């Protein structure tokens, strides 16, 4: 059982849990070691699903299916699934390649905390890498050449992993579908990254390539603006904001953003899916053409350096000159020493117990029809509780952040 997990625990005699890496709505991710013959050992990530013994069999079936399909997806921009099974106590484990680095939420937070703007060329470059992974999944075919697309369904900052070696990989392909099923049977378990959900999903459309593109558009918009795009004091309000679809111009948020980049992001976020990029490839090409306007390097080397610098800012690895972070002074807390990522859950509105799952979209739709027709939604921004303010906006309330003017390192 996942409840018994602790550093040092051996799962099926093979995977040794090292330390917790993070926790999502339905699972906990561990850094772990797989041991082989002699002194062979390799780091892996192990996702432990908190499904419990009484989990709905249809969830288990769907989860197994998603793991099976996901394992067939092999691409440098997709986190590889390596193994899936049940431990001695019947607990599920999903073994994935380990990405040493940060997720995109943490990367953006590190800039925000340091009162720096995220370098837009790197954000665009990450977008291109993620789109390559999406494209491979969307264009998947069976062995006999039949289209068999895999839709991600949960493109969000925490599912984009950035390696210290300068890679960007998308993880948790398709798992959202199984997780939604699980949350139906566990009302207090949160799914609901509603703020990344395309508006047509609210009205019952099926997830497809264009809904993944919308999700990535939100991620990029937020990484550049360093605040949430669709906010509200509860999920209903977030859904209303998504449905209203007002996308502020990024050039108004930050003066260094090229108008062409804003245009690309606006197109990825078009309310009408027909007006969006139709394929991940199309959007990747558009971002690549924006990148041609800058002389900034955006290959693995600068991205890796920025991830290492971000880790140092977050106290996850010793500061280096590349990190640009000063060494700790005598008597000051040693921020360079590895520290547990304790504050993350507190900042994420999607972890609130009031959040709804994607499967609750229909319920909300009914509520909308019954109580709050969309045409009566106030046009003014709704007051936002501190707990659900922007991901990065409410991060450090003691500093007013001149994010629009500060030049990056
Ligand atoms: N393969 C991996 N290598 C390194 N770290 C990982 C890996 N997979 C996940 N993580 C870390 O663990 C965190 C938790 O992952 P998890 O997928 O459980 O939650 P989440 O992405 O925040 O939410 P959700 O439940 O919606 O997926 C991630 O955000 C990331 O920081
Ligand atoms: Mg995840």
Ligand 1 atom with least separation from CA of 169: 1
The CATH class that applies to domain 2-97 reads alpha beta
Fold of the 101-360 domain: Transferase(Phosphotransferase); domain 1 (1.10.510)
CA atoms within 13 A on the CB side of 146: 3
Instruction: Write down the pLDDT at residue 3.
Output: 73
Q: In this predicted model, what pLDDT tens digit does every residue of 256-272 receive, in sequence order?
A: 999 999 999 999 999 99
Q: Which residues surround ligand 2, an ion (CB under 5 A)?
A: 24, 159, 172
Q: Which helix (H) or strand (E) holds 137?
A: helix 120-138
The four Cα atoms 70, 345, 353, 383 give a dihedral, to 10 degrees, of: -120
Q: In this predicted model, what pLDDT tens digit does every residue of 318-328 receive, in sequence order?
A: 765 444 333 33
3-state secondary structure 268-304: HCCCCHHHCCCCHHHHHHHHHHHHCCCCCCCCHHHHH
* Sheet containing strand 15-23, strands side by side: 10-11, 15-23, 27-35, 41-49, 92-97, 81-86
Instruction: Write down the pLDDT at residue 185.
Output: 43
What is the distance in A from the centroid of ligand 1 to the CA of 352? 17
Ligand 1 atom with least separation from CA of 159: 21
Tokens of 318: 């010793």
Nearest to 159 by CA among 175, 144, 143, 146: 175
Ligand 1 atom with least separation from CA of 102: 31
Q: Which residue has the higher pLDDT, 402 or 28?
A: 28
Please give the share of the chain, as a percent, with pLDDT higher than 70.
71
At 142, the pLDDT band (50, 70, 90 cuts) reads: confident
Ligand 1, CB within 6 Å, residue ranges: 21-27, 29, 45, 79, 96, 98-99, 103, 154, 158-159, 161, 171-172, 193
Q: In this predicted model, what pLDDT tens digit does every residue of 205-244 receive, in sequence order?
A: 989 999 999 999 999 999 999 999 998 888 888 889 999 9
At 194, the pLDDT band (50, 70, 90 cuts) reads: confident
Alpha-helical segments (H) within 21-119: 57-71, 104-113
Instruction: Write down the pLDDT at residue 319.
Output: 60
Range with the poorest average pLDDT among 24-38, 49-63, 75-89, 159-173: 49-63
Name the residue ranges covered by the structural domains of the chain: 2-97, 101-360
Nearest to 156 by CA among 242, 79, 218: 218
CB 311 within 8 A of CB 174: no
Q: Do the domains at 2-97 and 101-360 have one common CATH topology?
A: no
Tokens of 230: 């669709």
At 1, the pLDDT band (50, 70, 90 cuts) reads: low
What length does the chain have?
Answer: 409
What is the distance in A from the centroid of ligand 1 to the CA of 158? 6
Which residues are known catalytic residues?
154
Q: Which residue has the higher pLDDT, 189 or 141?
A: 141
CB 19 within 8 A of CB 8: no
Query: From atom 13 of ligand 1, which residue's Cα is the shortest distance away?
Result: 22
At 254, the pLDDT band (50, 70, 90 cuts) reads: very high
DSSP, res 2 = G
Q: Distances in Å between the alpha carbon of 73 and those of 67, 148, 208?
A: 10, 11, 17
Q: Does the pLDDT value for residue 27 go beyond 70? A: yes
At 54, the pLDDT band (50, 70, 90 cuts) reads: low
Question: Chain centroid to CA 304: how far?
Answer: 18
């Amino acid at each position: 059982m996942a409840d018994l997990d602790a550093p040092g625990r051996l799962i099926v005699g093979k995977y040794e849990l090292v330390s917790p890496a993070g926790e999502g709505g339905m699972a906990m991710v561990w850094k772990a070691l797989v041991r082989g013959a002699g002194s062979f050992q390799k780091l892996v990530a192990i996702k432990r699903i908190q499904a419990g013994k009484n989990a709905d069999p249809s969830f288990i079936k769907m989860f197994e299916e998603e793991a099976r399909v996901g394992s067939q997806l092999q691409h440098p921009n997709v986190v590889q699934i390596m193994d899936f099974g049940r431990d001695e106590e019947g607990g599920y484990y999903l073994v994935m390649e380990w990405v040493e680095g940060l997720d995109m939420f943490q990367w953006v937070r590190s800039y925000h905390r340091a009162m720096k703007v995220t370098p837009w060329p790197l954000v665009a470059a990450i977008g291109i890498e993620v789109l390559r992974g999406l494209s491979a999944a969307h264009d998947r075919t069976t062995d006999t050449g039949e289209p068999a697309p895999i839709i991600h369904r949960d493109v969000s900052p925490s599912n984009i992993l950035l390696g210290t070696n300068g890679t960007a990989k998308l993880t948790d392909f398709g798992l959202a579908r199984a997780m939604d099923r699980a949350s139906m049977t566990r009302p207090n378990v949160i799914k609901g990254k509603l703020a990344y959900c395309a508006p047509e999903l609210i009205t019952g459309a099926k997830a497809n390539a264009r809904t993944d593109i919308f999700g990535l558009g939100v991620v990029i918009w937020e990484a550049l603006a360093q605040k949430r795009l669709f906010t509200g004091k509860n999920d209903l309000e977030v859904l209303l904001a998504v449905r209203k679809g007002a996308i502020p111009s990024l050039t108004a948020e930050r003066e260094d953003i090229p108008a062409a980049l804003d245009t690309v992001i606006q197109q990825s976020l078009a309310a009408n899916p027909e007006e969006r990029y139709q394929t991940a490839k199309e959007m990747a090409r558009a971002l690549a053409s924006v990148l041609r306007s800058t002389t900034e390097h955006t290959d693995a080397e600068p991205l890796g350096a920025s991830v290492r610098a971000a880790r140092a800012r977050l106290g996850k690895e010793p500061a280096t000159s590349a990190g640009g972070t000063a060494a700790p002074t005598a008597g000051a807390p040693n921020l360079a020493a590895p520290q547990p990522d304790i504050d993350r859950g507190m900042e994420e509105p999607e972890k609130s117990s009031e959040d709804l799952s994607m499967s609750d979209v229909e319920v909300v739709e009914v509520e909308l029809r019954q109580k709050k027709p969309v045409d009566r939604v106030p046009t003014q921004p709704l007051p936002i509780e501190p707990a659900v303010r922007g991901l990065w906006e409410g991060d450090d309330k003691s500093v007013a952040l001149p994010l629009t003017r500060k030049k990056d390192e």
